[in-house]
Amino acid sequence: MNKVVPIMLAMALTAPLSLSAMQIVSANLTSANLTSDAPKTNSDATVVVGSATKPEFTAHSAKDVSKAADAADSANVLLKKRLHGLQQYQAAFNQTVTDAQGNIVHEAQGTLTMMRPNKLRWETTFPDETLLIADGEAVWNIDTFVEQVTIISQDQAIKDNPIVLLTANDDETWDSFVISKLDDAKASSTLEQYQIVPKSTDGQIKSLTLGFNSDGILSTLDMLDAQDQTSALVFSKQDLDFAIDTAKDNLFSVDVPQSYIIDDQR
């Protein structure tokens, strides 16, 4: 079984998707057909435009659009409030990765530590010991087995990745995503759940679903990627008030041993 790279680094090292040549060809053919079949008179053109291309925008549809916009705004505000309470967060996790058919392809255990803004530490203890640190400017992936450190720009690593909202405060970042609150019919558990979908289709993450318990504490995280693999994390032993001495603790800094190979891709 191939080793699964920690979630943030995996998204950074995977090539982005692009519009397929088939879609481009189809768009060109459609445009050509519309041009060749265009009516010859102004009166005919009026009929074709009115019947074929003018959308039916009724008062009812306008209300639906308004309701959807209000719901999105409400979900955005509610999720911001939940995550604002996570100025710092530390928890043990169990991770299960399944493929599109529901087969388990990887399992892991470890600890996740976050601090707003933009700091994250991901450490696994099973099946392998791995360490990934985002210090606000760069992402450091430390592989103790091969004694190598890979460094990439944090902005590039989490671009269009909804996981960035866990530690981001700025409105520009939040505006890159569509957020919805799952109602009881759509939610997969009794948790209060929010689904985050990138507005851009160029990234490798289709959606991120966050689940909060009755105390408003993050309890689950489900990430669906472009290959239809789902990474499901269940958190336990959550701590929102652990002590950090930034002068002494190195939770979000890296001291690379001299014997390690450094692959700096920034």
- pLDDT tens, 215-249? 999 999 999 999 999 999 999 999 998 887 655 56
- Three-state secondary structure call for residue 136: coil
Listed residue (24, 20, 83, 100) closest to 240, CA to CA: 83
Tokens 């099973």: give the residue. Answer: 126
pTM above 0.75, yes or no: no
Contact 233, 220 (CB under 8 A): yes
H-helix or E-strand spanning residue 91: strand 88-98
Instruction: Please state whether the peptide bond connecting residue 127 to the residue before it is cis, i.e. omega within 30 degrees of 0.
Output: yes
Predicted confidence band at 35 (pLDDT cuts at 50, 70, 90)? very low
In the sheet with 104-115, reading across from the earlier edge strand, the strands are 177-181, 192-198, 205-212, 218-225, 230-239, 88-98, 104-115, 119-126, 130-134, 138-143, 148-153, 261-264
Q: Are strands 148-153 and 261-264 parallel, antiparallel or unpaired?
A: parallel
Q: What is the pLDDT of residues 169-198, one digit of tens each?
A: 888 889 999 999 997 656 666 899 999 999
CA distance 184 to 34: 45
Contact 142, 132 (CB under 8 A): yes
CA distance 231 to 95: 7
Listed residue (122, 93, 97, 94) closest to 231, CA to CA: 97
Given this model, what pLDDT does residue 175 score? 92
CA distance 27 to 43: 27
